[in-house]
A and B are shown apart, each in its own frame.
Chain A
Amino acid sequence: MGVLMSRVGIVGAGWYGFKPTTIDISFQDMMFESSARAYSSAKIDPRYDVDAFVDCQEDMWEGIAIADEFAPEPIGGALRPTFTVAGDGLEGIAHAYMLIKTGHFNVVSVESHGKPSEIKTLQDIYRFALDPLHVRPLDYVNPLFYAGLDAVAYMKRTGAKREHLAMVAVKNKNNGLSNERASFSTKLDLDYVLSSNYSIYPMTNYEIAPFSDASITFVLANEEYAKKLTDNPVWIDGIGYSTETGTGATEWHEWGKMKSFRNAAIMAYKLANLNGNPQVDFAEVEDRFSFMELLALEETMLVKESEAHKMLEKGDFNRDGYLPINPSGGSLSMGIQLEATGLSRLLEAYLQLTGKAGNHQLKNVRRGLVASWRGVPTYTSMVALLSV
Chain B
Amino acid sequence: MRSNIFMKDRVAIVGAGLTTFMRRALETPRELAWEAAKMALDSAGLTLKDIDCVVIGSAPDTFDGMHFKGEYLADGSGAINKPMTRVYVGGGTGVFVPESAYWHIASGVCKKVLVIAEEKMSPAHPHPQYVFKYIWDPIIERPLGPNLIWIFAMEMRRYMAKCGAKKEDIALVSVKNKRNALDHPAALTAANITVDDVLKSETLVWPVNLLDVSPVTDGAAALVMTSENVAREITDTPVWVDGIGFTLENQHWYNRELAFPRYLNHAARMAYKMAGIERPWKEIDVAEPYDPFDYKELHHIEGLMLARPCEAWKLVKEGYFNRDGELPTSPSGGLLGVGNPIAAAGTMKVAELFWQLRYEAGKRQVKKPVHKAVANAWGDLMQAGTVIVLSN
Contacts and interface: CB of A to CB of B under 8 A. Distances in A.
B26 interface: no
B86 A87 contact: yes
A1 to B, nearest CB: 7
Q: Is the interface of A mostly helix, strand, loop or mixed?
A: mixed
Interface stretch (B3-11, B228-236, B283-291, B321-329): B3-11
A250 to B, nearest CB: 10
Interface string A78-95: 111111111100010011
A249 B65 CA distance: 16
A242 B384 contact: no
A3 B246 contact: no
A173 to B, nearest CB: 28
Contact of B62 (A59, A71, A87, A126): A59
Contacts of B100: 83, 95
B60 interface: yes
Contacts of A104: 1-4, 106, 274
Interface stretch (B129-137, B153-161, B185-193): B129-137
A171 interface: no
Given A69-B381, A102-B103, A241 B62 contact: no
B82 interface: yes
A378 interface: yes
B16 interface: no
B371 to A, nearest CB: 23
Contact of A85 (B86, B90, B267): B86
A124 to B, nearest CB: 10
Contact of A83 (B2, B3, B72, B87): B87
A101 B247 CA distance: 20
B152 interface: no
Given A95-B103, A99-B103, A242-B82, A69 B135 contact: yes
A133 B79 CA distance: 21
B68 interface: yes
Contacts of B267: 81
Given A64-B135, A80-B247, A242 B72 contact: no
B220 to A, nearest CB: 14
Contacts of B73: 246, 248
Contact of A66 (B4, B59, B274): B59
A223 to B, nearest CB: 13
B67 A60 contact: yes
Name, among A99, A243, A245, A377, the residue most crowded by chain B CB atoms within 10 Å (CB to CB).
A243
A245 B75 CA distance: 6
B341 interface: no
A216 to B, nearest CB: 19
Interface residues of B, number: 74
A249 B380 contact: no
A23 interface: no
A63 interface: yes
B79 A243 contact: yes
Contacts of B30: 246, 248-249
Contacts of A244: 80-81
B74 A246 contact: yes
Contact of A2 (B6, B29, B107): B6
Contact of A51 (B1, B106, B108, B381): B1
A34 interface: no
A331 interface: no
A52 to B, nearest CB: 8
A58 B67 contact: yes
B362 to A, nearest CB: 34
Interface string A259-281: 11001100100010000000000
Interface in A280-312: none
Name, among B90, B251, B252, B267, the residue most crowded by chain A CB atoms within 10 Å (CB to CB).
B251
Interface string A1-28: 1111000000000000000000000000
B2 A84 contact: no
Contacts of B7: 4, 102-103
A247 B90 contact: no
A240 B248 contact: no
Contacts of A53: 248
A126 B67 CA distance: 8
B366 interface: no
B83 A72 contact: no
A129 B67 CA distance: 4
6 contacts: A65-B132, A85-B88, A94-B83, A133-B28, A243-B83, A248-B72
Given A79-B250, A86-B88, A99-B103, 12 more contacts: A63-B134, A64-B135, A65-B132, A69-B135, A69-B383, A78-B249, A95-B100, A100-B107, A102-B103, A103-B7, A246-B73, A248-B73
Interface of B: 1-8, 28-30, 59-62, 65-77, 79-90, 96, 100, 102-104, 106-109, 131-135, 138, 245-252, 262-263, 266-267, 270, 274, 379-381, 383-384
User: Which 8 pairs, one residue from A and one from B, show the smallest C-beta to C-beta distance?
Assistant: A103-B4, A101-B107, A246-B74, A246-B75, A65-B134, A2-B6, A98-B107, A82-B248
